[in-house]
A and B are shown apart, each in its own frame.
Chain A
Amino acid sequence: MGKYFRHLLDLYVQQFKTTFASMVQYRASLIIWTVSAVLEPLVYIIVWSTVSNGSGGSVGGYTARGFAAYYIALMIVNQATYTWIMYEYEYRVRQGYLSFALLRPVHPIHSDIADNLSSKLITLPLVLGVAAVLALFFHPAAGLQFWAALAFIPALVLAFFVRFLIEWTLALAAFWTTRVGAINQVYFVLMLFLSGQIAPLTLFPSWLQAAAFVLPFRWMLGFPVELLLGRLSPRQALEGLGMQAVWLGLSLLLIRFVWRRGVRVYAAVGA
């Protein structure tokens, strides 16, 4: 058992080295990536600040500075939990590289997680830098609380796993169809509105907020943000962690089911 974990650790370390090397090669793309990374929160902060300033100083419980805090925190949490795995699998299935992954004795999800985390380690300083610059410009304000900051850690970890597992399962759609573009887009739109990406969920009508409670999207992204900014009561925080656990369990079941079916389909069609 210990040997298995040591192998796994070795795998993660090797993957980190590989990812690091290839990212250094693509320095220019990192710069471009930073530009997009800063633009998104910037635009949202400006738009919502304009709205709140023009509406008596705040909307939906957020002032301009509150929005600044929200989007900066969102950017950081998104950085921690986002994946690009659905593009990877579309590419791998199309090129037939998946055969290599299937031949390895380790479940392919491990190298994917390793690659994901390694890339993020490298882009983390960039994101923190962007966050610092945005903070300088927009003076975020939030009601940080100690217990919330503590609860934030498990919330973030759970969010990462729920999001990774669900998006990994989504990526497997590439086994069945080439039209993954449309499927991904539907997913992204749902994420946009139901996870708190486009605006804090409290700004939406109650029916949408109810849907967001039941669906997994808020638990992947918005919930840790709200928690960190001190906008949740302890009871709400506990409920949230509970929902995250539920969705973790559901997504594990989903992934086993879809993976097994997917491998069968892939093997049937031929590599």
Chain B
Amino acid sequence: MRLLRLFAVFFRVSLLNEAAYRVNFFVQLFQSLLELGTALAGLAVVFSYTSSLGGWTPDEMLALVGVFFLVGGIIALIIQPGMSALIDAVRDGTLDFTLTKPEDAQLLVSIQRVAVWSLIDLLMGLGVLAAALVRLGERIGPGQVLGFLGMLAAGSVIVYSFWLILASLSFWFVRVENLLEIFRSMYEAGRWPISLYPGWLRFALTFVVPVAFATTIPAEALTGRLGAATLLGSVAAALALFLLARLILRLGLRRYSGASA
């Protein structure tokens, strides 16, 4: 459908763009593998002293690491580049070009830049997930896989909408890039199940910066920890946040074009 075709074109342009920098595929691969190695080594140290971390077994933690890289890859691939580009375009006025095109502005700004090499992280995450699934074996039923996919989708929509809202703030404030940095630091906390954290931090990681929806909740779905309430809540949150983000972008565009409030 149209969205996919447009995305394919932007993807191709981004690929050419990155190839122009002669970004070395092997260097990127090396760096991603190094990150993965670090994460796994960290897990190894922790699990050399215990067999369960807050109720999570090593294989379940492996699944969480997989989700962490997978979603991290999705964010680095299409969410972060587009939103950074939006902030730049608002600042230097090149948003004008986007607005004179006969296409939905939200669509254009969201797919305008793709960091192609982050596919490596994404695939790596999938690989780790696959390994975790193999090890968890029969404990994973189709219901859990479906729940996982659903929560992955919901989580991605939530993170995307959150980033879009933050990026749209650049219509009103300057130097919004700093806010995006907060997400990146807080995302690190998503390496571990948020059930480990004290209540106030769990709250912050769910309702202030939606890291929980990105990593823990999909992993919980996969490992059969997910309650119906959380499942429905995630879907509802995804819908609500998406609509809110679209609204705020619209308001931002109106402000950009000097429409009276």
Complex contact flag A–B (Cβ < 8 Å): yes
Q: Does B50 contact A (CB under 8 A)?
A: yes
Q: Does B24 contact A (CB under 8 A)?
A: yes
A179 to B27, CA, bound (A): 8
Of listed A50, A181, A198, residue having the most chain B CB within 10 A: A50
Residue numbers in B under 8 Å from A46 (CB-CB): 192, 196-198
Q: Does B92 contact A (CB under 8 A)?
A: no
CB contacts under 8 Å to B, within A175-197, are 179, 181-182, 185-186, 189, 192-193
**Partner among B50, B54, B201 whose Cβ is within 8 Å of the Cβ of A42:** B201
B31 touching A51 by the CB < 8 A rule?
A: no
User: A40-B188, A50-B53, A54-B53 known; 20 other A-B pairs, CB under 8 Å?
Assistant: A28-B179, A29-B181, A32-B179, A35-B185, A36-B181, A43-B191, A43-B192, A46-B196, A47-B46, A47-B53, A50-B54, A51-B46, A179-B24, A182-B31, A185-B31, A193-B41, A198-B45, A203-B45, A203-B49, A204-B45
A181 touching B201 by the CB < 8 A rule?
A: no
A43 touching B188 by the CB < 8 A rule?
A: yes
A239 to B201, CA, bound (A): 41
Q: Does B57 contact A (CB under 8 A)?
A: no
Q: How large is the interface on B (under 10, 10 to 19, 20 to 34, 35 or more residues)?
A: 20 to 34
Q: Binding site of B, secondary structure by majority: helix, strand, loop or mixed?
A: helix
Residue numbers in A under 8 Å from B198 (CB-CB): 46, 137
Interface residues of B (CB under 8 A from A): 24, 27, 30-31, 34-35, 37-38, 41-42, 45-46, 49-50, 52-54, 175, 178-179, 181-182, 185-186, 188-189, 191-192, 196-198, 201
Question: Within the complex, what minimum Cβ distance (angstroms) separates B84 from chain A?
Answer: 15
A-B contact count (CB 8 A): 81
B46 touching A60 by the CB < 8 A rule?
A: no
CB contacts under 8 Å to B, within A195-215, are 198-199, 203-204
B34 touching A185 by the CB < 8 A rule?
A: yes
Of listed A28, A59, A199, A203, residue having the most chain B CB within 10 A: A28
A189 touching B34 by the CB < 8 A rule?
A: yes
Residue numbers in A under 8 Å from B41 (CB-CB): 193
8 examples of A-B residue contacts, CB within 8 angstroms = A28-B175, A39-B186, A137-B198, A181-B27, A185-B34, A185-B35, A189-B37, A203-B45
Tell me whether A32 and B185 are in contact in the complex, defined as CB-CB below 8 angstroms, given that A50-B196, A179-B24, A179-B27 are known contacts. Answer: yes
Residue numbers in B under 8 Å from A52 (CB-CB): 49
Residue numbers in A under 8 Å from B49 (CB-CB): 51-52, 55, 59-60, 203
Question: Within the complex, what minimum Cβ distance (angstroms) separates A222 from chain B?
Answer: 15
Question: Within the complex, what minimum Cβ distance (angstroms) separates B71 from chain A?
Answer: 18
**Partner among B38, B182, B201 whose Cβ is within 8 Å of the Cβ of A189:** B38
A40 to B185, CA, bound (A): 9
Q: Looking across the interface, which residue of chain A has its beta carbon closest to that of B37?
A: A189
A185 to B175, CA, bound (A): 27
